[in-house]
Structure 1
Amino acid sequence: MKTVKTLTLMRWLFGQLAPYKSKVVYAITALIVGSGSWLLLGQGVKVVVDEGFVANNAAMLNQMMLVVVAIALLGSIAAYFRFYWMIWLGERVSADIRQSVYSHLLTLPPAFFEQTRTGEVISRFTSDTTVLQSVVGMGLSMALRASITFIGALLLMLITSPMLTLYVLIAVPIVLMPIRFFGAKVRLHAKNSQDRVADLGAYVDESLHEIHTVQAYSHEALDKSMFAGRVEDVMRAANSRIRFRALMMATIMGISMTAITLVAWLGAKQVLTASISAGELTAFMFYAVMAGGAVATLSEVIGEVQKAAGASERLMELLHTDSSILIAEKPVSLANKVKGNLRLTDVHFSYPSAEGSPALQDISLDIKAGERIALVGPSGAGKSSLFQLLLRFYDIQSGDICLEGINIAELDLDTLRQQFALVPQESVIFASSVAENIRYGRPEATDDEVRRAAKAARADEFIAQLPDGYQTYLGERGVRLSGGQKQRISIARAILADRPILLLDEATSSLDAANEQYIKLALDELMRHKTTLIIAHRLATVINADRIVVMDHGEVIAIGTHQDLIHSSELYREFAQLQLVS
């Protein structure tokens, strides 16, 4: 993605405030009242000096002090509402952006996640959106307040002394120069710093998720060392950003204080010649200090904005990542009752990360509704790739895949995938309760239906022994369960989903012999009126299939029954003798 201008990024970021216009109005109203109160204090100071101190008028001094306190109180009340609404808006915008990015990520195919580490994406959700929250919640508030304060102070300075104001204005372009120069540097190093934080998050995510392997291979010391290196990379990147931001602040403050000192000196000479009163000079310097403070605040906010620009750019990269799956503009509807007829014709497919290396080539299969098809072959033969294409996780380069005679590219993605129940080889367990895991494919299912599915998968017995039964929290990736238990929950999920086509990828691979027999009975019942494709390496799993498809190097090399293939396919015969274990 090309580098986007800061103005474009900020327009996008602050465009997120559009749905909350009323809240923005409340915040800006409070901001104007607050800023106006502090500006009005200068006039109070002028009266206190000229008509209180200089005129030696105690009554006026007391009266004006009360007025000053009242103004300060009004400003404090306005500050409360300003802070409340601006911080609320920051939190709201951050939440909306997270929601938008997450919703978009769910639409991206597996090809995107082949090339992007999950930990990096998580970093963008956390650290980047936190930066944006700070800019909208505090930075925007400070910038608006500083802008109003600067303009108001400048106008009152002009009314008080046009000549001194002219001297101040001469310094303004000089102050803007370091903001322009250093601001660009801050943004560049801010994005680099956030990229390094994303790398760090990705490493933590990977190492902690695979903690069993880390500890089993005594890899802790090396991981600590590698993590320390990444932490130092973050510090080096942050150090560059901090250095340029500090230089910007120091330069601006130096120029501003020098300008204010020179103006104070010129103003003091005018008081000595009676060109202005002591109260007017005091008020002028009060406003000059406010204007200088406003410029310093703006420069600080610009540093935050440049940092936010880096965060916005990274989030916009995610939001503008297009799905490689082409969606039909006018999807074709399926019949109310899908039987499960599948047809593949001359299918050719290569993974995006391995173009030129076909995963499947010239695949043609005609699968009838209710038929049981077993896929066998060595690793890398293309069996799992076939499953991924049926679910349309990837688009094929050529050929056709049809469901009920309709090309799946013409179907709505959700409609297509709702026809399949998948039981993967690596059982997926979510960090929620047993019931929610089983209910995953059919969220509206009742507790009784969940329990019946678990019983059919022979999972009810071990679930009953868990601390809270079906409400037991299973931990991240189901760490509290054995491999066989995970697989039975995965099978229960498919049973409950009750979809016309089953995709079973080594569905009994993690079960002991006793449980495998139970599951086979459950699967036989489940497959009775469903089209089923089974990837298996066990003879007992495939021997009763209607047809067996033998695959090798992405091609179908033989199709037939077990008895046919034993005599006609050398590769199948080798598998039956060496790898297919009953």
Structure 2
Amino acid sequence: MSRTPAPEASFVDLLCPIFHRFRFRLLFGLIALLASDLLHFTLPRYLKIGVDELAQGIATQQRLFVLALYILLTAASTGVLRYSWRTLLIGFSRHLETTLRDQLIAHVLSMDQTFLDRRPPGEIMAHASNDLSAVQLAFGMGLAAAADVVVMSIVAVLFMLQISPQLTLTAALPLPLLALSTLLLSHALHRRFERVQAQFSLLTEFARNTLISIRLIKGYTREEQQISEFGQLGRDYVAFNIRAAVIQGLLLPVAMLTGSLGTLLVLHSGGQMVISQVITLGEFVAFISYFAMLSLPLATVGWSTGIIRRGLTSLARISRLLAAESAVKASLHPTPQTSILQSRPHLSLRHLSFVYPGTITPALRDIDLEIGPGILGISGRTGSGKSTLCRLLVRQYPVVEGSYFFAGHDVNQLELNLIWQCISYVDRNTSLFSGTAAENISLAKSDASLEEIMEVARLAAVHDEIMAMSDGYETRLGEKGLRLSGGQKQRLAIARALLADRPILIVDDALSALDAETAQQVFAALRTKQRGKTLIIVSHHVQLLAHADYILLLDQGRISEQGSHAQLLAHSPYYRPLG
């Protein structure tokens, strides 16, 4: 098993390509920030000149007007530059958010079923919403504020040193307090923000489950319990946020205390230096102005630290998700696929066994099986391994090398997309999305014409029911096909598979919600459409299995019996009662 990289290493790997892609935006943003801060720090110099000339009695109205004009132009230029760097740097954060979201969705779509079994959809939704928002804020306003603090602090200190190194050192005496407190509080913030984001994932998953199970909840009158449980999750989320806010709230007062202590020291020491004529009154006023400019960004250290720490915590969560590897791996040296796609692939299982991750009991044991063109029926008691076998055939889970051969090639040496392009899989838990009926049917063939969609809908015996809907094939079906019955969902999924028209079609108990007559009608269409190809039908109905060329009976993950319908009907104690 590969070791998950450290978060810091992941950050570098994750962010470097994005920073490189937008390097010019960042460069110009930083240049504009540096220029605006440099211009901003020239203002106290004009103030120093004016105060010194007034103190010496050499100031004129014209001279003061020129200084005021310089101040006005400098302030205007600073405003333009400040707008520019904020637009460039905060705009970068939006590009960063979009890029990470695209990477996250692409990564999730590339993962196998094992990954999805470990991470509920609500957790992934929390990554794509709350975590990404925190990252965007951290690398937008947080990064801009932090950069501003660094640049303004350096420039302010340089100007202050130019006036008086001694007074600058005096003003810096409280700064170690700020640095130490920020460091300690930042570590505590990371732990508490991690808990906040994890709780938000639980909250999101609970809300998602509630919405998709709303009819079940109402059917069992569990509204009050759901409201109570959701309320408790919400209260825990608030409590964790308050715990984080307690730490975050300490940062600003500490920064302000540091600034106030520094101001007190500057007034005391600087006033004595003016009285002793070590510095002029104008230099003292300029120094106070520079220190005030330094104090403002220092006061935002707590705020920006909190935002950046929260963003880094969320980035670590996203990084861990993106670092997860699929257990079903694409081959490093894939077999050329052109000939396979043009053939009617033969499937071969040799001593195939499988154990679900996190369990000990094998779901499949020592399966030997040859599957070619024709109809293969599979039956068996509940939990005997029928669906597991189907999922392995479509490569939702990893298989041991040398146990599954596709068109004569070990599946571990084939591209995953190749197998997915050759097999259509319809299970009893039909997956539909909230688009139209036509969009759901044409999922695997987005350029299909309405005539093609209607043809497969007729074969699946669902055309008349779609036409009876308010907008026909343009009727929106609702989340997971909420507006459809179980049988309509299954027939819509069958129509989708027929439209895909692939060499292998697996129907995993996906006719279970149909009455016997409709099931026979749909199965007859499947046999016609798949003639010369491979059709695998999992069912408990002997009326359907009777049309299979060969039938397997599974028991506790093993092939217990096999043969034709007539053979099993004559000799199988399990199969005979089905008839």
TM-score, length basis structure 2: 0.95
Q: Deviations over 1:63-93 (max 9, x none)?
A: 2122211111111111221121122111110
Query: CA offsets per residue over residues 329-350 of structure 1, 9 Å max, x none?
Result: 1111342422132221111111
Distance in 2 separating the partners of 1:507 and 1:271: 90
> CA-to-partner distance for each residue in 1:502-542, whole Å, 9 max, x for gaps?
10112322223453343233222122121111101112111
Match of 1:51 among 29, 37, 53: 53
Larger mean CA deviation between 43-52 and 388-397 belongs to 43-52
Task: Tell me the distance in 1 between the aligned counterparts of 2:13 and 2:485.
Answer: 51
Pick aligned residue for 1:348 from 340, 349, 353:
353
Tell me the distance in 2 between the aligned counterparts of 1:419 and 1:54: 92
- Aligned position for 1:275: 278
Task: Report if aligned partners of 1:51, 1:60 keep a CA contact under 8 Å in 2.
Answer: no
Residue 433 of structure 1 corresponds to: 436
Which residue of 227, 237, 251 maps to 1:234? 237
User: Which residue does 1:339 correspond to in 2?
Assistant: 344
State the AA in 1 paired with 2:205. Answer: A
Deviations 1:264-301 (A, max 9, x none): 12111222222222211111011111112222223432
AA of the residue aligned to 1:505: D
In 2, distance between residues paired with 1:177 and 1:6?
Answer: 22
Matched, 1:212 2:215: yes
For residue 290 of structure 2, the aligned residue among 287, 292, 312 is: 287
Once the 2 structures are TM-superposed, how far is the Cα of residue 425 of structure 1 from its aligned partner?
0.8
Q: 1:386 to 1:233 in 2, by over 3 A?
A: same
Aligned AA for 2:346? N
Residues 111/5 of structure 1: CA separation in 2 closer, same or farther (3 Å cut): closer
- Which amino acid in 1 is paired with 2:30? I
CA apart distance, 1:263: 1.0
Mapped to 2, the partners of 1:524 and 1:97 lie a distance apart of 45
Matched AA of 2:318: L
- Segments of 5+ residues of structure 1 without an aligned counterpart are 577-582
Pairing 1:203–2:206 present? yes
Cα drift, residue 29 of structure 1: 2.1
Residue identity (%): 28
Determine the structure 1 residue equivalent to 2:363: 359
Show CA shifts across 1:471-501 (max 9, x none). 2222211112222222221111111101011
Matches of 2:507 and 2:13, distance apart in 1: 49
> Partner of 2:26 in structure 1?
24
Offset of residue 26 of structure 1: 2.2
* Distance change >3 Å, CA 408–CA 5, structure 1 → 2: closer
Find the partner of 2:372 among 368, 371, 374.
Answer: 368
Whether 1:479 aligns to 2:482 is yes
> Who is 1:525 aligned against?
528
- Aligned CA distance change for structure 1 residues 473 and 106 (closer, same or farther; 3 Å): same
User: How far 1:199 moved relative to its partner?
Assistant: 1.2
Deviates most, 335-344 or 92-101:
335-344
Q: CA deviation at 1:177?
A: 1.0
Structure 2: which amino acid aligns with 1:366? E
Moved more, 471-480 or 555-564: 471-480
Secondary structure (helix, strand or coil) at the match of 1:534 reads strand
CA 1:156–1:308 in 2, change beyond 3 Å: closer, same or farther?
A: same
| Cα contact 2:114–2:357 (8 A) shared by 1 | yes
Instruction: Read off the aligned partner of 2:22 and give its amino acid letter.
Output: Y
> 1:116-169: CA deviations, max 9, x gaps?
111011101101110110111111111111211111111111111222112123
**Inter-CA distance 153–332: structure 2 relative to 1 (3 Å threshold):** same
- TM-score w.r.t. the length of structure 1 is 0.94
Q: Distance in 2 between matches of 1:276 and 1:469?
A: 86
Which runs of no fewer than 5 residues in structure 2 stay unpaired? none
The aligned amino acid for 2:466 is I
Instruction: Give 1:62's aligned residue.
Output: 65
The 2-side partners of 1:399 and 1:377 are apart by 26
| CA spacing shift, 1:11–1:240, aligned 2, 3 Å | farther
Are the equivalent residues in 1 in contact too, given 2:139–2:308 (CA < 8 A)? Answer: no
Give, as a single letter, the amino acid of the residue that structure 2 aligns with 1:120: E
- Partner Cα distance (1:512, 1:165) in 2: 88
For 1:508 and 1:247, the matched residues in 2 are separated by: 62
Would the aligned equivalents of 2:138 and 2:312 in 1 still touch at CA under 8 Å? no
Report deviation, 1:458.
2.5
Show CA shifts across 1:284-337 (max 9, x none).
011111112222223432222211121011001101101111321111134242
Moved more, 183-192 or 509-518: 509-518
> 8 Å contact 1:350–1:396 — kept in the other structure?
no
Does the 8 A contact of 1:52 with 1:60 survive in 2? no
2:422 — aligned with what?
419
Going from structure 1 to structure 2, the CA distance change for 1:439 and 1:544 (only over 3 Å counts) comes to same
Contact 2:375 2:550 in 1 (8 A): yes
Q: Deviations over 1:4-43 (max 9, x none)?
A: 5669747854653210111112211221222122111111
Q: Secondary structure at the match of 1:440?
A: coil
> Is the partner of 2:519 in helix, strand or coil?
helix
Residues 288 and 15 from structure 1, CA distance in 2 versus in 1: closer, same or farther, beyond 3 angstroms?
farther
8 A contact 1:196–1:234 mirrored in 2: yes
In structure 2, give the amino acid aligned to 1:349.
F
Alpha-carbon distance in 2 for matches of 1:542, 1:337: 29
Q: Secondary structure at the match of 1:422?
A: strand
User: 1:4, 1:313 within 8 Å by CA — same for their partners in 2?
Assistant: no
Does residue 249 of structure 1 match 2:252? yes
Q: Is the 8 A contact 2:351 2:367 kept in 1?
A: yes
Write the mapping of 1:486-525 to structure 2, written as runs, cut at 5 A.
486-525=489-528
Q: State the SS of the aligned residue for 1:338.
A: coil
Q: Distance in 1 between matches of 2:253 and 2:16?
A: 28
